[in-house]
Structure 1
Amino acid sequence: MLLQRSRLFPALPAFLLSTLSAAVLTCAPAGAALAQDVLLGASVQLTGPVANTGRYYRDAYQLAIDKINAAGGVKIGGQQHKLALRLYDNQSDVNLSVRQYTRLVTEDKVNLLLGPFASNFALADSAVSEKYKIPMVEGGGASDQIFARKFNYIFGTLAPASNYFGSTVEMLKSLKPEPKSVALLYADDAFDVSVAEGTRPKLKQAGLNVVMDERYSTNATDFNSLLSQIKSKNVDVVLVAGHETEILNFVRQAKSLAVAPKLYSFTVGVPSEDFRKALGKDADYAFGMTAWLPSTSLKDRWFGDAQQFAKEYKAKFGYDPDYHAASGAADVEALVQAMEDADSIDPQKVRDALAKIKFDSLYGPIAFNAQGQINLPQVVIQVQGNQLAEIYGAKGFVKQPKYPMPAWSAR
């Protein structure tokens, strides 16, 4: 039963609510997991500042598990085994998340691990999987730092953060009028720092003049000073690496200050249906990127294809999946494929199978590099008429962007 702190327990004292929020969310058949079940464990953000994105992982994990179980489960040693999920709410608290992953391994005795959302969480939580030698497959952390430590038990299905703006910078060189000046803004967490470190040399190579290179505090709510600088410097392009709440605040304050560069692009938010709902018409003209779109060309063993996955996801949960959800589902599929390839649930054998795995998923082809990460190309997208449009990919323009962005008063 999923615990929703404020809705199900409105009258409980605060200290008891906190205890319940951290309680296990068991997504499994009624009762404890059967001995023959394969128990997967995870801690994700279901409350706190990034809960809106955390829910993608909870929902994707459960949908994938349900789908695989409906097809008979995972075949090991000639027998079919059902999957079960032990899930905790880390309340968007890194320290709590580490404690919960430790509990999953030492007390709950999970067989394998799925990851949290956000790079700073994956950085910390993967130390638990490394310590106890239990493989973790995560699709919520993209920071290059996660995979630079030569850990053996962490595998990631997000493309490297250092290349998130790669396709966007390529597109900038083809725009007319060609932009000249760029502001690079990024939050001070592991993911966004990696984005900035990877983007700087790309901008230099493209011959673009970086007139602002500014770090801001994670969960920042006030962008007025940075926006005033963007306006006074007459910046053409603004690239912002941050999380969805930060991006929403940035756009709202840009409107209030009448700041409209020729183009702005964000690492997260834009692919999400919630982003467009939250901003309404003000979401128009925003650029972003995604490694996944629900295409029938992405064939899948369990769902058929990515479009079918998206249909089933929305039917079950009432909102559209984005790449976070697709990567989360692929994480479950990767563990199942590795168990079957290894014909075992032994953590070391599954780890070795993951290291050489190669299969097609609803998210795209899964094959981890020596560091444990995959590298799917980022597609540039834009909100046009409050709908998501695919703009630029590996073969160039797919659709013409709405560029330059008009002044707020001219919309």
Structure 2
Amino acid sequence: MARTALRASGALFALALALSATPTFAQDIVLGASVQLTGPVANTGRYYKDAYDFAIDKINAAGGVKVGNTKRKLALKLYDNQSDVNLSVRQYTQLVSQDKVNLLLGPFASNFALADSAVSEKYRIPMVQGGGASDQIFSRKFKYIFGTLAPASNYFASTIDMLKQLEPAPKSVALLYADDAFDVSVAQGTRPLLQKAGLKIAIDARYSSNASDFNSLLSQIKSVNADVVLVAGHETEILNFVRQAKSLAVAPKMYSFTVGVPSEDFRKALGKDADYAFGMTAWLPNANLKDRWFGDAAQFATAYKAKYGYDPDYHAASGVADVEAVAQAIENAGSVEPQKVRDALAKLNFPSLYGTIAFAANGQIDLPQVVIQVQGDKLVAVYGGKGFIVKPNYPMPAWNAR
């Protein structure tokens, strides 16, 4: 009987060991965010909601996030900031002080990330965001903000490199930018790059965010006969700019925009008028970008389109990368304790569908921008770090000659 009891006791002990080594599911890890689901920038803001949901669903379907020997699912607590910065700040404060979320994901747009990151810093809860690229966000020596967009000051760098290779060579540039944090950073970084390239800045003009009337600026561009027009702004502003450029028959040799061109919605909104437009992107759905959860970027793009009905651009890819970075940091830390996750985020270095996720000391990722162009009904990568990928359609013809 003693031997029988001993064997039974041993079996129970072995079972206990086996159970302790097998991951078990515990309560959800709640990620909090406030994004623009309504208001002037909701068209891009929704990319982040979709990206967050899509990534969380994929990670949960694969078993969730391993925290030590425990498997935990991710959940999202999300508010609509209605494209209002002040409301966004209040919502992030509510997320951490009342809703008691574990960690934070970011909003869209630099002016929002600039304000909202002050909440994460105050409460010492990490925020990973892929919607704000302004250099201002990362120049304050904050410890709890991490960003997956390249620095705004470098957005036009690859475009300016390309300008030096074009024939006929452009000589003068009109630089237009909105008065928000992102676009101001773009302009600050672009000026010295243009000067170094030997290009004359014929117009350097700042306009109000959400501007709808570009007639005066377009008339100036026409009067100085600028070869190239570089515009830093948000999608609705750029849609207005292109439509009014056509109505006033303003057609420089080329124009390039910080946003819009990578977006399927932008190209659908303009139709044939989007042709010849240049832009840039730090991400394309390349099968070489391997990913732990989605396989690769091409598989991700196909699955995303099937679920949401539109092609993902770099906004969506960076939003997914935000969630993946949080998940990987939790696993590396073996904890959801904010300080431990923050320290793990700072040390991340892993491949993803968005590229290598490795934050610099200031908390930002610096990925090179590929120059893209709308050519007919296709979006084409035309210029990268090693030169031309495909011959760009340049110079742009007059509107009545298309």
Inter-partner Cα distance in structure 2 for 1:250 and 1:351: 41
Q: Secondary structure at the match of 2:140?
A: coil
Letter in 2 for 1:77: G
Query: Could you state the TM-score of these two structures normalised by the residue count of structure 2?
Result: 0.94
Inter-partner Cα distance in structure 2 for 1:78 and 1:358: 23
Equivalent residue number for residue 169 of structure 2: 178
Match of 1:58 among 49, 56, 60: 49
* Contact 2:26–2:72 (8 Å) recurs in 1: no
Equivalent residue number for residue 63 of structure 2: 72
* Contact 2:348–2:357 (8 Å) recurs in 1: yes
CA deviation vs aligned residue, 1:332-355 (integer Å, no higher than 9, x gap):
000000000000000000000001
Equivalent residue number for residue 366 of structure 1: 357
Is 1:236 the counterpart of 2:227 in the alignment?
Answer: yes
Equivalent residue number for residue 24 of structure 1: none
Match of 2:299 among 274, 289, 308: 308
Equivalent residue number for residue 128 of structure 1: 119
* Contact 2:127–2:144 (8 Å) recurs in 1: yes
Q: How does 1:92-131 map to 2 (within 5 A)?
A: 92-131=83-122
Match of 1:215 among 189, 195, 206: 206
Inter-partner Cα distance in structure 1 for 2:29 and 2:91: 19
Task: Give the Å deviation of 1:386.
Answer: 2.2
Measured on the aligned residues, the alpha-carbon RMSD in Å equals 0.7
Equivalent residue number for residue 238 of structure 2: 247
Inter-partner Cα distance in structure 2 for 1:407 and 1:187: 26
Inter-partner Cα distance in structure 1 for 2:148 and 2:68: 27
Is 1:159 the counterpart of 2:150 in the alignment?
Answer: yes
Task: Give the Å deviation of 1:271.
Answer: 0.1
Q: Secondary structure at the match of 1:37?
A: strand
Letter in 2 for 1:138: Q
Question: Judging changes above 3 Å, is the alpha-carbon distance between structure 1 residues 220 and 240 closer, same or farther for their aligned structure 2 residues?
Answer: same
Q: Secondary structure at the match of 1:120?
A: helix
Q: Secondary structure at the match of 1:390?
A: strand
Inter-partner Cα distance in structure 2 for 1:281 and 1:211: 28
In terms of Rg, which structure is larger? 2
CA deviation vs aligned residue, 1:241-296 (integer Å, no higher than 9, x gap):
00000000000000000000000000000000001100000000000000000010
Equivalent residue number for residue 22 of structure 1: none
CA deviation vs aligned residue, 1:354-407 (integer Å, no higher than 9, x gap):
011100111000100010000000000000002100000011100000000000
**Identity value in percent:** 81
Match of 1:144 among 135, 141, 154: 135
Equivalent residue number for residue 329 of structure 1: 320
Aligned residues: 378
* Contact 2:108–2:131 (8 Å) recurs in 1: yes
Q: Secondary structure at the match of 1:42?
A: strand
Task: Give the Å deviation of 1:36.
Answer: 1.1
Is 1:263 the counterpart of 2:232 in the alignment?
Answer: no
CA deviation vs aligned residue, 1:286-344 (integer Å, no higher than 9, x gap):
00000000010000000000011111111111111000000000000000000000000
Task: Give the Å deviation of 1:225.
Answer: 0.3
Moved >6 Å (runs of 4+): none
